Structure formats: structure tokens, C-alpha cells
Structure 1
């Protein structure tokens, strides 16, 4: 999972918010599946967990990706708590694993200089290279990805989702490091 998240996904897509979501869901599924495999409760409980997660995601207000990971982790902890079967240490160890992964995956110092933002520019920008240059100038940061969501030629606006990071040693990067302490 570390190779998938830190070796493939993040270097390509730079979405810090999904790092904790992938880690939380993965370790939650691992813990519940591992615990249910040695339990007499069966797979029905595990499938019910996914149903509850779908209801939370679809029926509630829009949640950020890291919030979904916390919900899933909370559900997994709730299922693991009362399960018996297998070694007595298994359930507490899996619960500790979930908490450790969530702590590390959502730590403020992990990828602290990376940001994601939706911006509305006061001009219509069609050229991608010019758009990236303008965003880098406005943000004072290196743009990793810029996805245009809407260009309005009548009102001269561009709505863009931008993923960016501040260079090490910059004033903003130093401010972020100080805020993360």
C-alpha cells in the first residue's frame, strides 16, 4: 500500500487529501477482513460495513476524502472492538494499526507544502501553458496540475482546480513549517 500511495499515486496526482483516505480505507478493510476471517460472525458483517460507508457517503452532506477515511476507521474500530475468535491480541493490535496509520497518513508534516484549491480567475484563459504561468505567479508556488473546470468567455472568467506546492526555503514554506509544529 505504501508503494501504491507514496510511490505511484502521490507523485503523479499530488492530492494530499486522498493519501489519508487510501491509507485509512485500506487498513480498515485489512483489519476487519483479518478479524472476520477468524471469527464466527462471517462476511455479512463486513459487507454491512461497506453498506454503511456508502450510506454515509451518499446520504450525508459532502465529506472531504480524509473525513471519509476517519468515518471508515471509526466503523472498523467499532466492529473490531466486540469481535472474539482468534488470538486475544488480534483485535487490539488491528485497532492500534488503524490508529497508527491514520496518525501517520494525516500528519500535518506529511506533504505539508502541498495544497489543492479551486480558483476563479478574472480572465478567460484557454492556453494551458499561460494558465499555469499565471497560477504560479499568483500563488508564488510550483503548479503540479491545473484542471480547468469552466471557461466563461462572456464574463471573462476561468474556474480551475490547481494542485501546487511551495518550494523548500521559501517564505511561505517556512511559514507552513512553523504552523505545522
Structure 2
């Protein structure tokens, strides 16, 4: 697991207040404000991204387990039915459950349905011209409005390419 140093940004509702506090703390320690603040924000975002990746992995594990359990339930139903039929049992009475019964198996069937389908024997442009000439259609201009959502300004962290040991040393120094 990657080493993490927690920040207050990960829990705060007021980012500006937390960053103001961090600047004061950086000034008290006599550290360079710009680079220290940039690293603090980047560290917070990396921690949040790590937590999200962790949660994504847990969700994936849960999904895999759910698929396995559904398959297992189906295996129990099919295997139980086969066992009961092989032993001449159609129903079992229970104490916890009322009863277990075997449902009848159904064979796969194939049914053909014939429908009438409208097919143009000319291309679409010719069909348009013909229908317009016969007075059965017309061309109209339609105006469509495309709306996009506003996007607020965000921070993008550009990662520096350094070895993990150097990052750990610089965090410990701060």
C-alpha cells in the first residue's frame, strides 16, 4: 500500500478556509508558500483518488461475489431438482420452509411469425421527390437548439516524475 499523509482538505466543507489556514501554517514554518501549497493540494487530491480507487476495488469484489452467489443459487436449484427427480421426489415438506417442489422442465421452441414489412424500391431521395410531387409530403426547415452545461473552473494536478523515495522524503521534511 502506498504511504499517505492525510490533509485537512479531504474532510473540509470550506476549502478556501482550509487553504488560508495552511498558508498561515506554511508561513510559520518558513517554507516556500507556492510550492508547499501546490504539494498540499496535490497530496489531498491523490489521497482522495486513492480512496476512490479503493472503493472501486471493493465494489468490484462485491460485484464478483454477488455474481458467484447468484450462480451458486442457480446451481443449487438445478442440482437439487435433478437430485429430487432422480430419486422420484416431486415435493419435500420442510420445518423451516413450507415445501420444496420441482417445477416442470420446458423444452426450447422456435416459432416463426410472418409479418408485412414496408420496403422502398427506390432510394430515399427519389421517394421524397415523388411524395412531394404528389402533394403527399413537404420539406420544412426545423431549428434545433443544442445546449451544453456550464463547467466551473477546477484544479488540475500535473504530477512530477520522481521516485517514490524522493516523495516520501519531501513529505517528511514538510
Q: Would you say same fold, with TM above 0.5? A: no
- Report the TM-score when normalising by structure 2: 0.21
The structure whose residues are more often strand, as a share, is 1
- Report the TM-score when normalising by structure 1: 0.20
